[in-house]
Amino acid sequence: MSDKIQRVGIIGAGQMGAGIAEVCARAHVDVLVYETTRELAAAGRARILRSLDRGVSSGKITEREREQAAWRLRFTSDLSDFADRQLVVEAVVENEEVKTAIFSELDKVVTDPDAVLASNTSSIPIMKIAVATANPERVVGLHFFNPVPVLPLVELVTTLKTSEPVAKRAEAFAADILGKQVVRSADRSGFVVNALLVPYLLSAIRMVESGFATKEDVDKAMVLGCAHPMGPLALTDLVGLDTVKSIADSMYAEFKEPLYSAPPLLMRMVEAGLLGKKTGAGFYQYG
Ligand code: CAA
Ligand code: NAD
């Protein structure tokens, strides 16, 4: 197995890809980020720089660390630039077809046989993604949490085919280089956290949908009654309603559990483009 991971590729610079790229750059790793268009790449870079600025203003990093992290970030719209990467983390939309197409191409591009190909999927079984490659032993799930610079957890998901050295390499990267806490999960839709969290979010949406309680009261109840940092509707807005629906769909497809099925209110809001914080409106309005 080759050296310590120092060259990372991130696919997607949405809220998660940007967050993962930021924590890697802050950890002194060379980061190459893929986005489909120049405009999206520019938006991704701006998102990371804003977050680094926030780190400076809250005293977590110095001006110099911010500058150095920014230098370590490069962007491309050509996946073949990922040939020399030792670890790639895919963080595109929660859609199996899109992810498998990317992994199929990535597997041909990344030349190092010891390289780790990871997906940040919230819920899609990793084996479904790994079978798109000729080398499924180097595919794992590395599931980060939102906001990535703040939340210390990473779930490591291994499949029936993942090689243990690859799993150990991914775990060492998350723990020793990024300083995250790692828990291992078997390859089941939703893994550990979302298998517990998403039915709770969906139940909160059903409560609002049925008029059982207002969204403000549901959120207030969980913040003040259970000391959660935010209530379930605000959290759904933070995650993205499209992502919560896709996670629900994937968990429902796997287990046929009614509590995992997306409530009609969630489906209607996604159709209406009310995706939460990222589009400026979801259950709440944003600046
Ligand atoms: N980037 C970097 N830093 C951020 C940040 C971001 N996007 N958002 C917040 N922070 C930092 C702030 O700088 C601040 O740091 P200091 O205390 O050092 O100043 C700290 O986090 C707290 O931020 P705020 O005071 O602005 O706001 P807050 O206290 O209301 O916290 C929150 C905001 C961190 C989002 C908090 O409400 C929280 O942890 N909420 C729960 C989030 C959660 O449950 N995430 C998991 C979602 S599920 C998931 O990710 C998996 C999946 O597959 C869907
Ligand atoms: P996002 O909507 O912020 O970003 C989506 C990204 O996917 C963007 O970079 C976009 O350019 C890219 N994309 C969209 N369609 C594409 C296509 N057809 N081909 C290539 N790229 C495409 O989403 P996000 O919240 O960053 O989620 C990304 C991944 O991370 C998903 O798998 C999601 O389940 C997972 N995740 C999300 C959260 C969360 O709280 N939002 C937490 C953990 C994991």
**pLDDT tens track for 260-271:** 999 999 999 999
Q: Give the contacts of 227 (CB within 8 A, at least 6 positions apart).
A: none
239 lines ligand 1 (CB under 6 A): yes
Task: From the CA of 143, give the closest atom in ligand 1.
Answer: 53
Nearest to 147 by CA among 241, 43, 14, 45: 14
The finding on whether 276 has its CB within 6 A of some atom of ligand 1 is no
Distance CA 31, CA 24 (A): 7
Q: What would the mean pLDDT of 61-89 be, rounded to a whole number? A: 97
Nearest CA to ligand 1 atom 5: 147
The pLDDT > 90 percentage for the chain reads: 98
| Sign of torsion over alpha carbons 253, 258, 264, 267 | negative
pLDDT at residue 3, as a whole number: 75
| Res 60: pLDDT | 94
Q: Any residues with CB less than 8 A from the CB of 19 and at least 6 apart, and which?
A: 51, 144, 146, 147, 148, 149
DSSP the chain: --S---EEEEE--SHHHHHHHHHHHHTT-EEEEE-SSHHHHHHHHHHHHHHHHHHHHTTSS-HHHHHHHHHTEEEES-GGGGTT-SEEEE---S-HHHHHHHHHHHHHH---TT-EEEE--SSS-HHHHHTTSS-GGGEEEEEE-SSTTT--EEEEE--SS--HHHHHHHHHIIIIIS--EEEEE-S-TTTTHHHHHHHHHHHHHHHHHTTSS-HHHHHHHHHHHH--SS-HHHHHHHH-HHHHHHHHHHHHHHH--GGGSPPHHHHHHHHTT--BGGGTBSSSB--
Catalytic residue among 51, 119, 120, 122: 122
Task: Give the per-residue pLDDT at 257.
Answer: 97
Ligand 2, from 10, 88, 146, 243: best to mutate by most atoms within 8 Å of Cβ?
A: 243
Flag whether the pTM goes above 0.90: yes
Q: Which residue minimizes the CA distance to atom 52 of ligand 1?
A: 122
* ipTM attached to this prediction: 0.96
* 241-255 and 264-271 helices, crossing angle to 10°: 130
Q: What is the pLDDT of residues 271-282, one digit of tens each?
A: 999 999 999 999
- Residue 42 identity: A
Q: Of 155, 163, 185, 250, which is the active-site residue?
A: 155
Give residue 1's pLDDT band: very low, low, confident or very high (50, 70, 90). low
Distance (Å, rounded) from C-alpha 37 to C-alpha 107? 21
**Interval between CA 170 and ligand 1 midpoint (Å):** 24
Q: Give residue-wise pLDDT tens across range 168-218.
A: 999 999 999 999 999 999 999 999 999 999 999 999 999 999 999 999 999
pLDDT at 71 over 70: yes
Confidence check: pLDDT of 2 > 80: no
The residue-averaged pLDDT of 239-259 equals 98
Q: 92-148 pLDDT, tens per residue?
A: 999 999 999 999 999 999 989 999 999 999 999 999 999 999 999 999 999 999 999
Ligand nearest to the CA of 240: 2
- Look at residue 205 in the predicted model and tell me its pLDDT: 98
* Structural domains of the chain, ranges and CATH numbers in brackets: 7-185 (3.40.50.720), 195-278 (1.10.1040.10)
Query: How much is the average pLDDT of 238-248?
Result: 98
CA neighbor of 8 nearest in space, from 31, 26, 34: 31
Give the nearest ligand 2 atom to 37 CA: 11
Q: Give residue-wise pLDDT tens across range 164-175.
A: 999 999 999 999
Q: Is the CB of 151 under 6 A from ligand 1?
A: yes
Active site residue 155: yes
pLDDT per residue as tens digits for the range 11-26:
999 999 999 999 999 9
Which pLDDT score is estimated for 96?
A: 98
Catalytic-labelled residue, pool 96, 143, 163, 171: 143
Strand partners, 30: 7
Cα–Cα nearest to 28, from 62, 70, 58, 57:
70
Q: How many CB atoms lie within 10 A of CB 104?
A: 14
According to the model, what pLDDT value does residue 204 have? 98
